[in-house]
Amino acid sequence: MIRKIYTLLFVFLLLMSCSPNSKIKTEQYELQKSKHEKSVLIIFPCFMCSVENTKQEANFLKDIQNKKVTTLILNYNQKLFLEDFEKKELSDLLENIFKENNLNKHNVFYGGFSSGGNVALLLGNYQSQNKTELVPKGIFVVDSPVDLELLYKSSQKDVESNDESAFLIDFFENSIGNPIQNKENYIKYSPFLVSEKTQPNLDNLKYSKIRFYSESDFKWFKTNRNKEKEELNFYHLLEAEKYLKTKGFSVEFIKTKNRGYRANGDKYPHSWNLVEQNELLNWIFD
């Protein structure tokens, strides 16, 4: 009997040692730890997106823990920009999560989709500027509206026929005003402004490598959203890449083709699916 008990205990411990990557879920985040962690990837969702929605749409996250990457998906959304106190609060939150879960601080990457990319850039810039305990080694953003001025103007064109555009105009008017009367706010809060050709909200990221993902399906956007080329996030990111290269930043633009699909199979160039796992891993571990 005693031998049988010891045998069962040994089998149990063996199974535990071979158990899959552990998961921790709270109201603020979901952490999926890699058993052989070599990097931590922090994911910032889009404006109205949750952790569950992000996991469903970001196909590149599937089984990425088996590739030595721990993932931290935040329930931090409904942000197109960050106030200074929000940058500090979010930075402190991440540092606490890393301490509580004994995560590797030396090979950390941020990834953000749409407005989440704005948050990733603004936060990373703040952390680099203030030399916090946690500074991202790299940041990638997926079709993010980094130029809030152009986003406002594009939304204004469709405000009468598009509920999303009407919502964005109200959001801007009630938070930072309009770019004609309050241009200084758009300089302060945008990751990048095409009209200014300079932006302090990126200048401290010189020692972090940066990636922009976007898909230039101009025909789809014109047919389905009545958007001109200059109104697309693709254009904003292209101009930001040009600016950063003139300043000597490590930046690259991944211009995808025929990858813009939602998880349900619908064609939609503004999607997480622009990111492919293997090439992302090569970038992380390069």
Domain residues for 210? 21-147+190-284
Q: Contacts for 161-166 with beta carbons within 8 Å, 24 or more apart? A: none
Segment 36-64 mean pLDDT:
96
Residue 280 in tokens:
């992302």
Is 8 a member of any domain? no
Work out the pLDDT band at 18, boundaries 50, 70, 90: very low
Largest CA distance in the chain: 83
**pLDDT value, residue 4:** 52
Distance, in Å, from the CA atom of 149 to the CA atom of 176, rounded to the nearest integer, reads 11
Is 158 a member of any domain? no
CATH number at residue 235: 3.40.50.1820
pLDDT over 70 (residue 211): yes
Is 157 a member of any domain? no
